[in-house]
Amino acid sequence: MLLLFALTIVTLIIGVNRFDWYIEEIAGLFLGMGMLAAMIGGIGAEKAAKSFVSGARDMVGAAILIGLSRSVLIVMQEGQVVDTVLHGLSSAISGLPAAVSAQLMFFVQFAINFFVPSGSGQAALTMPVMTPLADLLHIPRQSAVIAYQLGDGLCNFIIPTSGVTMGILEIAGIPFNLWLKWIWKLMLALTLAGMAFLALSVAYA
């Protein structure tokens, strides 16, 4: 079994790097590994199928939550709500001192991540606006990137629109409100630390 798992991981690495495998191919690979593992372990087809269904049952709730989270984003994007929010938030930053604007840029990115939890999607959406805005406000471009990275990274811990966060909480059986009660102190500490590093990036650029 250990050898089968090692061969699967090696195949995965080769497939991703050389043949651009993604979700479908990787899913097929692990499904095939499961079938081979059942054959090697001497498990009959019926028992293997029941075990698969039993394991998949735990993922159904997470899959539904991920789909619902995604549907909210699709409605907002198709209704052009995200563009309106982005324009309004970026306009509020302009005209302020560089040190203050950099911190507000962080919180703007934090807020936008609620609507666009995809890191690459958020970068494509916001950086074409934030980069020239940073130049106008005499904020180093590196600071604008740091503000994006902090806003994107930290916000993912607490937003209900993140399919990953909600899916993991569902699998772990942790209610979202309980998660917020546990994580808020850490989030506060990380946010303050992020603001401090962002201030240093502006002061010593």
**Domain definitions of the chain by residue range:** 2-43, 76-203
pLDDT in tens, 87-146: 776 677 767 778 888 898 898 888 888 877 777 777 877 777 787 778 877 888 899 899
Q: Is the pTM of this model over 0.85?
A: no
Q: How many residues are present in the chain?
A: 205
Euclidean distance between CA atoms 102 and 142, whole angstroms: 11
Would you state the pLDDT for residue 72?
A: 67
Would you state the pLDDT for residue 112?
A: 82
Cα dist from 138 to 99, 130, 161, 174, 198, whole Å? 10, 12, 33, 44, 14
Would you state the pLDDT for residue 186?
A: 92
The single residue listed with the structure tokens 């937003």 is 159
141-155 and 119-136 are packed helices; what angle lies between their axes, rounded to 10 degrees? Answer: 150
Would you state the pLDDT for residue 27?
A: 87
Would you state the pLDDT for residue 89?
A: 63
Exposed/middle/buried for residue 124 (C-beta within 10 Å: 0-12, 13-18, 19+): exposed
Euclidean distance between CA atoms 143 and 100, whole angstroms: 12
Exposed/middle/buried for residue 162 (C-beta within 10 Å: 0-12, 13-18, 19+): buried
pLDDT in tens, 39-62: 888 888 788 888 777 777 766 766
pLDDT in tens, 79-94: 777 667 667 766 777 6
Would you state the pLDDT for residue 181?
A: 92
The single residue listed with the structure tokens 């790097």 is 17
Greatest Cα-to-Cα distance within the chain, rounded to the nearest angstrom: 71
Q: State the average pLDDT for the chain.
A: 82
In terms of Cα–Cα distance, which of 97, 103, 91, 93 is closest to 201? Answer: 103
Average pLDDT of span 31-36? 86
- Within 10 angstroms of residue 78's Cβ, the number of other Cβ atoms is 9
pLDDT in tens, 7-25: 999 999 999 898 888 888 8
Q: What residue type is assigned to position 124 of the chain?
A: A
